Amino acid sequence: MLLLLKLLYEQTDETHFVSGADILRYWEDASIRANRKNVYGDKVTPHILRHTYITNLLLRGVDIKTVQYLAGHERAKITLDIYAHLTYNRPEEIIEKINMAFAPGAVTGN
């Protein structure tokens, strides 16, 4: 956030436009100075942060239309195509959801 404020403060024209390239440049500068790496030793980039954010939303059960909106995807299919594999890597949770759906007293759509 401080980087974004710095970008806005340094603008010399009156448009206050901040491009993705500006944000990436400042992020990389700050990341290099801080030597930020993830648990695998990879560089932490804005793309990795975005992927982690969207992944965590889905894994915590946020509905796909909300995640689509927050991700800025035009269609939910885009979000599903990129991130759906995450839910299929957790078979024990899928089985539990299926069991709950068919449990006595489960709410039906009728």
The pTM (predicted TM-score) of the whole model is: 0.52
- Is residue 56 a part of any domain in this protein? yes
- Is residue 80 a part of any domain in this protein? yes
- Is residue 2 a part of any domain in this protein? no
Give the pLDDT confidence of 52-95 residue by residue, as tens digits.
888 888 888 899 999 999 888 899 999 988 887 766 566 777 77
Residue 29 sits in which domain range? Answer: 21-101
Most confident stretch, 13-17, 41-45, 84-88: 41-45
For the chain, the domain total comes to 1
- Is residue 6 a part of any domain in this protein? no
45 torsion bin: left (phi>0), alpha (psi -120 to 50), beta (else)? beta
- Is residue 14 a part of any domain in this protein? no
- Is residue 8 a part of any domain in this protein? no
